[in-house]
Structures are given as structure tokens and as C-alpha cells.
């Protein structure tokens, strides 16, 4: 039986001011073509279906479009919620969906959700584990001594009847690591998960009862520990940290517990690129390519370019962000901010920062504008 593994769709996401719905529809249509060309039997969607817990109307329409096309192809769907999803919203209509072989597990209810499908005489058990926190599982197993996410997931698996002689597939959305190494992170999930230390980290070996583990949560496609424990990665680049990722989808073939995985490349409607150099070089006609791509630009110019974004968007209309890498920014990076801020007023800090950046003193008018912005943001009060 052939499975296509997806995760981290983040439907409804934007890059800065740019809506990605058309880019997401484009890539989902590509996935539909891959399903046709590879005679896929079922699709595994490993969470973060939506980008926000309250998805936009456009995002819900796009999911409806994708699921309807899968149902029309008689392709089975097994989908779970991720940490970005609203359990209740993703679960809405799940009973009705099952009549079209679309199975959704969005809320953990104390047991591992299981679905059995047959391919001739061969049996496949699909287990669905939506994103869970240790506190959620502790509610159902108060005597289990659950402290970490690994404790929680291990408890769930240990309390499930899994016949290791059968074909067992798990769909999960957690931070899973190999022995002595973390997965290569990309996107918003990376930094947030790394900062929690060992609490959220789950060792891949607790999934040894499963022939294939379809993971979501990390945006970079990769195996974890063994070939059969795998992040599909997000289908599109969603942050600058993913700019060098080659996006793909795994096609998983399982026959009599033998698993093979083939990755098929995805080509976006608009790529994301990070270009670095002086503005006059980057926008030279000889160097300009693929003008519709999403652009992050790092300028090497020593002086600040007035309206750099406006200038860039005349050539690259989908420029997302511009920053600088020059002697001033490198000098700032070497400064110990905590020491600078100690026992110093807002005015002193802003004056020093301005002088460091522009090599001149800030004017009274500019300082008043900074103080006004700081008051509105709650950084200082009226008496400061």
C-alpha cells in the first residue's frame, strides 16, 4: 500500500504583507498530481493544517477544496491536529467526513485513535495521535508519573494494544529527536522548541512498535534516528531559516512490514531567496532574476538607503524584508546590551544607539518622535 505523507500545511499563512493562499493552492494541486502519478492509496497529514487557531475563510475553503479532490479520487485521508490548530475547529464535521474515508483526530480523548484498512488480505493499522502536552495525558493517567512529553507519549503507546506482527503506521505531531542529536529545525517551530530543553523532546526509539511514523512539527524534511521515522517538512518555505530547504513529499510503500520511502520534489509557484550585497549590485539588470520570488535582502551598503523597500519592490514586488550587514551592524552585534542599559535613561540609550548607527547626534525632533513611540508601546511612561 502506498501512502503520501504531508505535514505543516499552515493554510492561511502570510509572509509579511503577502498572502500565500494562491501559493498554497498551487502546491496542493501539485500534490494532487503526484498522487495521481504514483497511484497513492492514502494521505497522512501530520498536523498544523492551519496556521492559526482561528483560520481565515480562505484557509478553510482551501482545505475543503483539497479534501474534496482527495475524496473524488477515492484516496483515504488520515489527519491530526498540530499545535497551531484549534482542536474543535479541525474536528468539526469529522463524523460526516468518515463517510468519504476522511479520518480526523483533533482531540486526544485518553486513547490512541486507530483505523484499520485492508489491501487484499493484508491489514494496515493507522494510529492517529494529535498534538498532546504532558498535562493532557496526565489527566487520563494520573498514576503514571508523567512529567515530560516523552513520558506522556510513552504512556499512550504502552496503554495501546499494538500487534507488532501487523503493519502499524503512526501519525503524530511532536518534537522527536535522534540519539544525541536534534532534528534540523526550520520555521517558527525551531527556536520555540529548542528553548524548552528536554521537556518537549521525545526519543525516536519509543516508536519502535511502528513500521512508519509520519511526523509533523519541524519544517525541514528529514529522517529521525531511522529511515521510517520521518518529518515530511512543510510543503512551502515559510521563513528565512528555510530558504535553503529543498521541499519534497515522501511516498511510503509498505508491504508485509517492508518499508521503502521515495521523496518527490515540490516546485513552488514563487521561490523564497535571500540575496546579499550592495543595493546597486543586487538591482543591476545583469543580476536580477525571477522577479516574482519572495525576497529577503541583506544590504552591504555602509549608509542607510532611504526608502530601500520601495526601491526594491519596484524590481522585486514580493520583497518581504530588508536588513543590513555593515560595519555599524557588526559593531552593534559586539555590544553587551545588558551592560549598556544598566542605570541609563531612555534618552541616553536612544542617543547612543543613534550615534552608533549614523555617526551623528539625534535631533530634538527625532528624539521626541522616539519618546512618543515608546510611550504608545508602553516602554516608558509620561514621567520618564
Cα–Cα distance measured from residue 33 to residue 27, given in angstroms and rounded to the nearest whole number: 10
What is the residue-averaged pLDDT of the chain? Answer: 87
The whole-number pLDDT of residue 121 equals: 86
pLDDT-derived band at 334, boundaries 50, 70, 90:
low
Is pLDDT at 194 greater than 60 in this prediction?
no
What is the average pLDDT across 4-31?
96
pLDDT above 80: residue 127:
yes
Judge whether residue 301 has pLDDT over 70: yes
Upper half-sphere CA count for residue 225 (Cβ side, 13 Å): 18
122 is written with which cell numbers?
493484508
Q: CA-CA distance, 114 to 169, in Å (whole number)? A: 10
Q: Which CB contacts under 8 angstroms, 24+ apart, belong to 286-293?
A: 288/315, 288/316, 291/315, 291/316, 291/317, 292/317, 292/318, 293/318
Is residue 196 scored above 50 in pLDDT?
no
Structural domains in the chain? 2-265 (3.60.21.10), 272-376 (no CATH)
User: Helix 346-358 crosses helix 364-376 at what angle (to 10 degrees)?
Assistant: 120
Residue-level pLDDT at 114: 94
DSSP of 104-132: EE-S--SS-EEEEEEETTEEEEEEEE---
- Lowest average pLDDT, out of 34-38, 86-90, 184-188, 199-203, goes to 184-188
Q: Which of 33, 66, 85 is nearest to 249 (CA)?
A: 33
Single pTM value for the model: 0.81
Task: Indicate the angle between helix axes 57-72 and 21-37, nearest 10 degrees.
Answer: 10
- In this predicted structure, the answer to whether residue 19 has a pLDDT above a threshold of 60 is yes
Mean pLDDT, residues 200-223 taken together:
92
Q: Are 259 and 252 in contact (CB under 8 A)?
A: yes
- Three cell numbers at 127? 494510529
Asked if 18 and 295 count as a contact pair (C-beta separation under 8 A), the reply is no
What number of residues does the chain have?
Answer: 384
In this structure, of 118-122, 204-208, 297-301, 331-335, the range with the lowest mean pLDDT score is 331-335
> 260 pLDDT exceeds 90?
yes
Q: What is the pLDDT of residues 144-155, one digit of tens each?
A: 888 889 999 999
Calculate mean pLDDT across residues 191-205.
63
Quick one: average pLDDT of 290-302?
95
Amino acid at each position: 500500500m502506498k501512502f503520501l505523507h504531508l505535514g505543516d500545511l499552515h493554510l492561511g499563512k502570510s509572509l509579511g504583507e503577502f498572502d500565500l493562499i494562491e501559493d498554497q493552492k498551487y502546491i496542493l494541486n501539485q500534490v494532487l498530481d503526484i498522487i495521481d502519478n504514483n497511484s497513492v492509496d492514502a494521505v497522512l497529514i501530520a498536523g498544523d493544517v492551519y496556521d492559526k487557531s482561528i483560520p481565515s475563510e480562505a484557509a478553510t475553503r482551501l482545505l475543503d477544496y483539497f479534501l474534496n479532490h482527495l475524496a473524488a479520487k477515492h484516496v483515504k485521508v488520515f489527519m491530526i491536529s498540530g499545535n497551531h490548530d484549534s482542536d474543535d475547529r479541525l474536528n468539526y464535521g469529522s463524523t460526516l467526513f468518515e463517510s468519504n474515508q476522511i479520518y480526523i483526530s483533533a482531540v486526544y480523548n485518553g486513547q490512541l485513535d486507530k483505523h484499520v484498512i485492508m489491501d487484499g488480505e493484508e491489514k494496515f493499522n493507522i494510529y492517529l495521535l494529535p498534538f498532546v502536552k504532558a498535562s493532557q495525558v496526565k489527566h487520563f493517567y494520573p498514576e503514571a508519573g508523567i512529567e515530560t512529553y516523552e513520558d506522556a507519549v510513552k504512556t499512550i503507546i504502552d496503554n495501546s494494544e499494538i500487534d507488532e506482527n501487523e503493519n502499524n503506521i503512526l501519525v503524530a505531531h511532536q518534537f522527536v529527536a535522534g540519539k544525541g542529536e536534534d532534528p534540523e529545525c526550520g520555521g517558527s517551530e525551531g527556536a520555540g522548541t529548542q528553548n524548552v530543553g528536554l521537556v518537549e523532546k521525545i526519543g525516536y526509539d519509543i516508536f519502535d512498535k511502528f513500521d512508519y511514523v509520519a511526523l509533523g512539527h519541524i519544517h525541514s524534511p528529514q529522517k529521525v534516528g531511522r529511515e521510517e521515522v520521518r518529518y515530511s517538512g512543510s510543503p512551502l518555505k515559510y521563513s528565512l531559516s528555510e530558504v535553503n530547504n529543498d521541499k519534497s513529499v515522501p511516498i511510503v510503500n509498505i508491504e508485509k512490514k517492508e518499508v521503502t520511502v521515495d521523496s518527490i520534489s515540490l516546485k513552488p509557484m514563487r521561490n523564497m531567496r535571500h540575496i546579499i550585497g550592495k543595493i546597486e549590485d543586487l538591482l543591476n539588470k545583469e543580476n536580477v532574476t525571477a522577479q516574482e520570488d519572495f525576497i529577503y535582502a541583506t544590504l552591504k551598503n555602509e549608509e542607510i538607503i532611504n526608502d530601500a523597500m520601495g526601491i526594491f519592490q519596484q524590481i522585486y514586488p514580493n520583497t518581504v524584508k530588508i536588513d543590513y550587514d555593515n560595519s555599524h551592524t557588526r559593531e552593534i552585534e559586539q555590544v553587551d546590551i545588558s551592560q549598556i542599559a544598566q542605570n541609563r535613561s531612555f534618552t541616553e540609550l536612544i542617543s547612543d544607539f543613534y550615534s552608533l548607527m549614523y555617526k551623528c547626534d539625534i535631533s530634538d525632533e527625532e528624539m521626541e518622535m522616539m519618546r512618543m513611540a515608546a510611550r504608545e508601546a508602553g516602554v516608558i511612561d509620561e514621567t520618564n
